[in-house]
Structure 1
Amino acid sequence: MISQNIIATVVAAAVGLLVGGLIGHLGTKTVSSSDTEKISIMEKLVADKWESEEHLNHKIIDMVNTDNLRNNLMELAKFPHLAGTERDHQLAHLIHNRFMKAGFDTADLVSYDVLLSRPNRTNPNLITLEDEQGQVIFTSAYQEKSLQKDDSDPEFIHAFNAYTPAGDVRTEAGRGVVYVNYARVEDFDKLEELNVNVSGCIVIARYGKIFRGNKLVHAQERGAKGMILFSDPNDVALEGVEAQDVYPNSWWLPGSGMQRGTTYMGDGDPLTPGWPSTAQAYRLKIEDADLPKIPCQPIGYDDARVILEKIGGTPAPGDDWKGGLTGVAYNLGPELQDRYSNYTLRLNTHNVLQVHRSYNVIGIIKGEVEPDRYVIVGNHRDAWGYGASDPSSGTAQMLETARVLGQLISSTGWRPRRTLVFCSWGAEEYGLIGSTEWVEEHVDKLKERAVMYLNTDTCASGPIIHVPGSPLLWDPVTAVMKMVPGVRDGATVYDEWKAYQISQNVTTLKMKTLGSGSDYAPFSFYCGIPCVDMWFRRDKNKNDISIYPSYHTGYETFYMVDKNVDPGFRIHQGCGRIASLLLKYFADSLIIPYSLQHLPEAMKDALDTFKKSGTRDKIIRIYEKYTLLEESLTNFTDAAATFERELEEKRTKNLDPVTIRAINDQMMKLERVFILPAGLPGRPDIRHAVFAPSQFDNYATSGFPGISDLLHNIEELNETERLKKEEEIKRHISDLTIMVQRAVSLLKDFHMI
């Protein structure tokens, strides 16, 4: 909806210009100051500052400074800064002060009181092996070994998995431990096929492939009573586990490195689902929150070896179940080997749930022409430790981007057309809490006013740019990548990205859609705001691993990034340049530079996967009107192509401000069409019906996820349950078809309903 104030402004300006023109036509030789002001207003309303001020784009590229980025990271990663701790609060104030120093119009500390989880510092979580006399013969470590001078800090959090309960579980003597590979659905299915029962057992799994919370859910659903997670050398130490092969001599993880992390499957404060955790909020009882039910603890691969080498029972079913611990067979269990038949494994955790205060920092540069349109950038601040890559490399970039754009204002008089919003999120690591609470508090404003959201969680964890996002943003991101000098040996970041895609045997150069796992999730999956997540990550040609080795461990230090990840800080610089330019592109372009046709194209690609897998035939047997969804998508593809073709024609004309505003609103609201008010079936907090995280891996993206979710294991249901599920599928496909038709209608000329 077009703001009445904006309409009044543009109409007044247009009338003023017309009057001035008439006066000029009648021969008046002087223009009054009032008329001059009206002409100036009109010029601002119809100016495309992105195109007319191209010299500023080059200036931005030159201004992003590697020394500033390095100094920022050194300060941010100096001490551990777990969410809700004193150091976290100190950094919130530091960022607030930097925003104000940069010349922002406002910067606010926004607090929420949220449920967090901590280990007991005086009673650490332990995994032990005991013999038949009850003598402890092995005890797991709960902190990493200090390997260089800045590794150790008294405030560094003990290893734990957030939101897992305190618990004390143990196996029978000689049996009750099962190795479950990566704890994916297919891994548990394979165990069932091999008659390896995990019910009543403690399971041990490798980190990687899927979100750790999904691993715990899968274990819990199969009846396990406890879980141990470890990072295997095949994922974190590919060049060997000797001292010379790992940190601090390389980026590979030493044997005592332990990945901390949340296991909460929701987003936001667990006690206030769907609503902001403000003073007025109703809070659930902790026992009513949807939190994990069984204890879980991470360990390093040195300690994992001690457990795994004692497991007997069923052999590993193939090489893909075997990791990189030499001399370990990776047997499945549940029996221990004969010589350990009197051993008992005990998992004893002491995690505590408590409400803590967490801060977001929200900095604003007010737009000059459209202050009610928001171009948003965000990065979380909290870390499981020093967090030098995640998130502090992103925070270092955001602070430099704030400085650059602030200096642009003070040195050139530039001011963005639309409002820029900089967000430092709190408590992301626990479950995207700060961003989710803020979105829940401001959801109505954001749905009406947000143009796009740029997420920069981790700028530097490797050399390869990765920019999954809404298809509406693929072309503008590509355009900016082509402007920015390469961070390795390419002329531009785009050239490097293209070369990497080709090396991965990608036949069509397309970006990916979003899974979950960072602060874009509430913007995208709850509000339908176009989002992009930018980070530089590992080179899979060299290291085909799930994520960078030091992730969430005590070795994710400034030393690690400075010496092993980004010496010279060119990756950080590339990240800062792209972020600064992308924000300016969307803030200053007269017509918002969305790429409309990619949206129906990506939707068609998602439906094509159903066809390739044979799922389409299964769907049509359930609901023959599925073909109407495909027809509607064809209509949407045509409508988007027509809209973009006509828009190019309109660009050649002198568009009036009201038309410009209407065109932008049409495009800005397009992805919002696909928001289901009640959420996906069984997932009320995930409302994006077209692109959303997979139900079985929160990190992965899924096209038309509601269809996939409803079809999962439908053949295994009894007839009553199956028929009920089929009715849900019919209804959901009907909803999708109507949504696509609404998208077609939205792209009609805006005077038509």
Structure 2
Amino acid sequence: GHVEVKLSDDVTDDQAGAEQTGQPGDSPSYRPRPRQEYRRICYLALGALFIFVIGTRSSLFSFRILGDTWHVLLHGFVLMTKFVEFLHFRLKKAKQPFDVKISCLQFQYDQTAGSDGDVILANNVFNNFKIWEMNPWTDVHYVQLQKPDRYPNRVLMDQVVVGQPKAYLAYSATGKVQGTAVYGNYGRKEDLEILTNLNIELNGTVILLRASGQISLAQQVANVAEMGVSAVLIYPDPDDYKFDRNTELYGHVHLGSGDPYTPGFPSFNHTQFPPTESSGLPTVLAQSITAATAAQIMKAMGGANVPSSFRGGLDDVTYRIGGAGVNVTVEVNNVLQNTEIHNVFGVIKGFVEPDHYVVLGAQRDSWGPGFAKAMVGTTLLMELARSVYEMVEKDGFRPRRSMVFASWSAGEFGSVGATEWLEGYMSSLDRRAFTYISLDGVVTGHGAFKASASPLLVSLLATTMQEVKNPIGSDMSKSLYDKVSGANFEASVLEPMQMEDAAYPFLAFSGIPSISLRFVSRDVYPYYGTALDNIDHLGVTTNQRLDSLATAAGLVAGQMALRLVHDHVLSLDVRSYITPISQAVVKINKRLKQGRSAEGLSANWLIMARGSYIRATSDLNEDIQNTDLTDSLACHKINERIMRVEHNLLSPFVSPKDVPFRHVLFGHGSHTLDAMLEGTDKDVLRTQLALTTWTLQGCANALAGDIWELDNQI
């Protein structure tokens, strides 16, 4: 059920709720529901469908499905005990965690995107997919990656070189600028507001920022660029990063994903497209420096002492705002290189609906060793692929739908490989790829479990976590769900999906329900983008429990995927969008009633579109309960409606080229529901309101099904 939010005294659209009387298509399995029996229909748990047999030689378990005539429990069935034992065996078989005896995971060479090492890794992934009869294929893209030139980047203080870093921030503007040094803490909006209140002039300055896992490098640069700075220097402050002061930091500063020189379309061959650039490319110079270099500059800075919230951990430095005392020159000589990258895929085809598939993916490139960033995720990807292959090949598992396993390149440059694939096959993926599960960064700590997900996947995540043993702390008797959920599961576990999340372009660009998950510690993992992201440091941050944590992460991801490809009806909860839609509409309605700039505008149409969506979810659930779920045609029709939801929350009124993240709830741009809370132009707001209303109404119409079933009261 859900809690209805009354949006206004004069609009009661949500309570209208006229029942639909049409039938879902012409399926002979549809049976009108006796009204008195609404809550009496029950379904048997699929967990009862599996027999488990211990193999004498392999110590693996096998199962058989007893029949095809059982009903499906939509929520809460016990999933794939065999898979749990199988993956535990696979991941703990090796002498060391993740020594899975395939050379692609040895990481003995450079694995930056497009390098020889990256190609070797890709070939090894491909060969293993081939061994496992997964019909592997490679998707080749030619992308523009910014890399250091033979002329090094430099930082000078009063014409004296104080830094000549090897590390760099990809997609920085290039050139040479000079300005007075100022210090801006993390470069967050609230930090810059403090500087403004202190009457600190930022225009034309070189601003020093400390890196933070709470805000991306790209967002930091974008924030200060709006203030007119000429260059940005970002360093790892000892207060946030407990490592040697001379450690260098790599990253990218494109506020977006994919190749920024082919926004909205794929980088198959640059020659066939006109020159263009992403609006997310920075217009200012950006360079990372070491903490040691930052200390040299800050010691020479003048100005007032900083507020207490700005103080860092350089114990030999008095933190000052700057604006006087020293001029800093920044020289960035990065060059664009047209680089060939390879995404590698394997597929385990479904037996009933092979054209519908879950995608599990992990990036394999990294700036340094990339143990947490790439190696753990790639290892899990391979082990999940092998486990499911052996379940199908040896144990008789017959998934209804397909599972695609993807190894991405150029993830460190902003999910370039994955985004180019999405751009290249947008029409092919629509309502075929119905879920993406990201395995990037699944283990960086040992104290908590977090996830970022489409609302459609939250119920499935919670159910799956109840079936996975807790690897956190000493209490192994609890489920992962019981350990981390607290009083409120969503508040304890869920985090907003950020643009730098590898799952984000799947959700906000392509409209594919997506999820990323991770075990974390209280402090942010400090070694991303450095040469210190290795097995030793990850072992310390996980309290030497990397194997059990990674196994649990693999079980959550794997069991979610298996249920999605096994259930007759997709385990995507369309009701879950009622709350975020309602919350957004309540805010907009309040803003329109209180704001002078919105005088004469009403949210009534938007409220009615919300009501249409709520009724469409109720009609769908009723149709599910009234349908024989062993009827493949009936299930196909229902699943088609479910798969339309996420995609139809992409605004059809903006161009993917100009506004790539078109999702009205999780995207970026004037088309989003949040944008209507910020604008002041009445005419613009009126247009935003109309287009967003029709986007939401279109989503409700698609969920309702056939054209004669539509509930359009606008």
Which TM bucket (shorter chain)? 0.7 to 0.9
- 1:129 and 2:157 matched: yes
Matched, 1:408 2:391: yes
Deviation of 1:489 (Å): 3.3
CA drift of 1:662 comes to: 0.7
Deviation at 1:520, TM superposition (A): 2.1
Query: Residues 508, 188 of structure 1: CA spacing in aligned structure 2 closer, same or farther, 3 A cutoff?
Result: closer
In the alignment, which residue of structure 2 is the partner of 1:322? 311
Q: Which moved more, 1:58-67 or 1:403-412?
A: 58-67
Matched, 1:690 2:673: no
Aligned to 1:228: 233
SS in 1 for 2:172: coil
Tell whether the 8 Å contact from 2:151 to 2:333 is kept in structure 1 after alignment.
yes
Q: 2:121 aligns with which of 91, 95, 109?
A: 91
Counterparts of 1:382 and 1:676 in 2: how far apart (Å)?
A: 32
The partner residue of 1:567 within 544, 560, 570 is: 544
Q: Which of the numbers 452, 455, 461 marks the counterpart of 1:471?
A: 455
Aligned equivalent of 1:139: 162
- Shift of the 443–195 alpha-carbon distance from structure 1 to 2, 3 Å rule, reads same
Change in 2 beyond 3 A, CA 1:53/1:287: closer
User: 2 CA distance for matches of 1:741 and 1:280?
Assistant: 38
Give the equivalent residue in structure 2 for 1:183. 187
- Answer 1 or 2: which has greater helix percent: 1
The structure-2 alpha-carbon separation of the partners of 1:183 and 1:599, relative to structure 1 and needing over 3 Å to count, comes to same
Rounded Cα–Cα distance in structure 2 between residues aligned with 1:321 and 1:99: 50
| Residues 60, 577 of structure 1: 8 Å contact kept | no
Q: Is residue 277 of structure 2 the alignment partner of residue 300 of structure 1? A: no
Give, as a single letter, the amino acid of the residue that structure 1 aligns with 2:467: M
Looking at structure 2, the residues matched to 576 and 298 of structure 1 have their Cα atoms a distance apart, in angstroms, of: 34
Question: Given the superposition, is the C-alpha separation of residues 286 and 67 from structure 1 closer, same or farther in structure 2, using an over 3 Å criterion?
Answer: farther
Is the contact made by 1:596 and 1:644 (CA closer than 8 Å) also made in structure 2? no
Answer yes or no: is 1:214 the counterpart of 2:180: no
Deviation at 1:640, TM superposition (A): 2.0
**Alignment pair present for 1:56 and 2:82:** yes
Query: Cα offset for 1:731?
Result: 1.5
The letter of the residue matching 1:727 is D
Partner SS, residue 390 of structure 1: helix
Query: Does the C-alpha gap of structure 1 residues 617 and 378 become closer, same or farther in structure 2, counting only changes over 3 Å?
Result: farther
Contact 1:483 1:492 in 2 (8 A): no
Give CA-to-partner distance per residue, 1:422-456, whole Å, 9 cap, x none. 11111122122111111111111211312211111
Assess if the C-alpha contact under 8 Å between 2:263 and 2:277 holds in 1: no
Partner residue in 2 for 1:752: 709
Distance 1:333 1:312 in 2: 5
Q: Tell me which amino acid in the other structure corresponds to 1:87.
A: G
Distance 1:707-1:746 versus aligned 2 partners, 3 A rule: closer
Question: Could you tell me how far 1:187 is from its partner in structure 2?
Answer: 2.6
In the TM superposition, what are the counterparts of 1:493-642 in structure 2 within 5 Å?
A: 495-496=479-480, 499-500=483-484, 502=486, 511-539=494-522, 543=523, 547-565=524-542, 567-568=544-545, 569-608=547-586, 617-618=594-595, 621-622=598-599, 624-642=601-619
C-alpha contact 1:177 1:202 (8 A) present in aligned 2: yes
Aligned: 1:169 with 2:146: no
Letter in 2 for 1:374: Y
Conserved 8 A contact 2:87-2:383: no
In the alignment, residue 553 of structure 2 is paired with which amino acid? Answer: C
Closer, same or farther in 2 for the Cα pair 1:46/1:281, shift >3 Å?
farther
* Partners of 2:173 and 2:283 within 8 A in 1: yes
Asked if the contact 2:79–2:563 (Cα under 8 Å) also holds between the matched residues in 1, the reply is no
Using the alignment, how far apart are the partners of 1:549 and 1:276 within structure 2? 33
- For the pair 1:679 / 2:635, whether they are aligned, the reply is no
- The one-letter code of the counterpart of 1:139 is V
Distance in 2 separating the partners of 1:287 and 1:449? 30
Match of 1:310 in 2: 300
Which string of whole-angstrom CA distances, capped at 9 and with x for unpartnered residues, describes residues 80-99 of structure 1?
A: 31111111111111111122
Partner deviation per Cα, 1:252-272 (whole Å, 9 max, x = no partner): x32222321111123222222
Residue 709 (1) aligns with residue 675 (2): yes
Deviation digits for residues 335-393 of structure 1 (CA, Å, limit 9, x no counterpart): 02xxxxxx542222221111010110011111111011011111111111111111221
1:15-414 to 2 correspondences below 5 Å: 54-68=80-94, 69-72=97-100, 75-104=105-134, 106-120=135-149, 122-130=150-158, 136=160, 139-140=162-163, 142=165, 158-171=166-179, 176-208=180-212, 209-237=214-242, 253-279=243-269, 282-285=272-275, 291-316=281-306, 318-336=307-325, 344-414=327-397
Number of aligned pairs? 640
- Change beyond 3 A, Cα 1:474–1:288: closer
C-alpha separation between the residues in 2 aligned to 1:188 and 1:87?
41
Shift of 1:103: 3.1
**In the aligned structure 1, how far is the partner of 2:657 from the partner of 2:299?**
41
1:657 correspondence with 2:632 = yes
Q: Write the deviation string for residues 243-294 of structure 1: whole angstroms up to 9, x where unpaired.
A: xxxxxxxxxx322223211111232222222111113763444789863332
Q: Pick from 742, 750, 753 the counterpart of residue 698 of structure 2.
A: 742
For the residues of structure 2 that align with 1:581 and 1:413, how far apart are their CA atoms?
17
Contact 2:259 2:420 in 1 (8 A): yes
- Share of identical aligned residues, percent? 23
Per mean C-alpha deviation after superposition, the further-off stretch among 66-75 and 627-636 is 66-75
* Amino acid in structure 2 at the alignment position of 1:518: D
SS state at 1:429 partner: helix
* Secondary structure of the corresponding residue to residue 151 of structure 2: coil
Q: Structure 1's 744 and 677: CA in aligned 2 closer, same or farther, altered over 3 A?
A: closer
Q: In 2, distance between residues paired with 1:64 and 1:526?
A: 35
Q: What is the TM-score normalised by the length of structure 1? A: 0.78
TM-score, normalised to structure 2's length?
Answer: 0.82
Quote the residue 1:666 is aligned against: 641
- CA RMSD, Structure 1 to Structure 2 (Å): 3.3
Q: Sort the Cα spacing of 1:622 and 1:551 in 2 relative to 1 into closer, same or farther, 3 A.
A: farther
Deviations for 1:664-721, whole angstroms, at most 9, x for unmatched residues? 111111122211124389951111112235x6xxxxxxxx972433554x5xxxxxxx
On the 8 A contact 2:80/2:559 being kept in 1, the answer is no
SS of residue in 2 equivalent to 1:291 = coil
Contact 1:408 1:414 survives alignment (8 Å) = yes
Letter in 2 for 1:604: S
The whole-number CA distance in structure 1 between the counterparts of 2:600 and 2:534 is: 54
Cα drift, residue 52 of structure 1: 10
Following the alignment from structure 1 to structure 2, what is the Cα–Cα distance between the partners of residues 227 and 592?
47
Question: Which consecutive residues of structure 2, in runs of 5 or more, have no partner in the other structure?
Answer: 1-24, 29-66
Kindly provide the amino acid, as one letter, of the partner of residue 415 in structure 2: L
Q: What SS class does the counterpart of residue 691 from structure 1 fall into?
A: coil
User: Can you list the C-alpha shifts for 1:149-199, whole angstroms capped at 9, x where unaligned?
Assistant: xxxxxxxxx21000113322234xxxx111112122333333222221111
Question: Quick check: 281-290 or 79-88, which moved more?
Answer: 281-290
**Deviation of the 1:615 alpha carbon:** 7.8
Q: 1:267 to 1:619 in 2, by over 3 A?
A: farther
Letter in 2 for 1:692: G
- Going from structure 1 to structure 2, the CA distance change for 1:168 and 1:324 (only over 3 Å counts) comes to same
Tell me which of 462, 465, 485 is aligned to 1:481.
Answer: 465
Instruction: Summarize the Cα distance change of 1:493–1:177 in structure 2 as closer, same or farther, 3 Å threshold.
Output: farther
Distance 1:705 1:494 in 2: 44
Per-residue deviation, 1:495 = 4.5
Cα distance in structure 2, aligned partners of 1:513 and 1:469 = 8
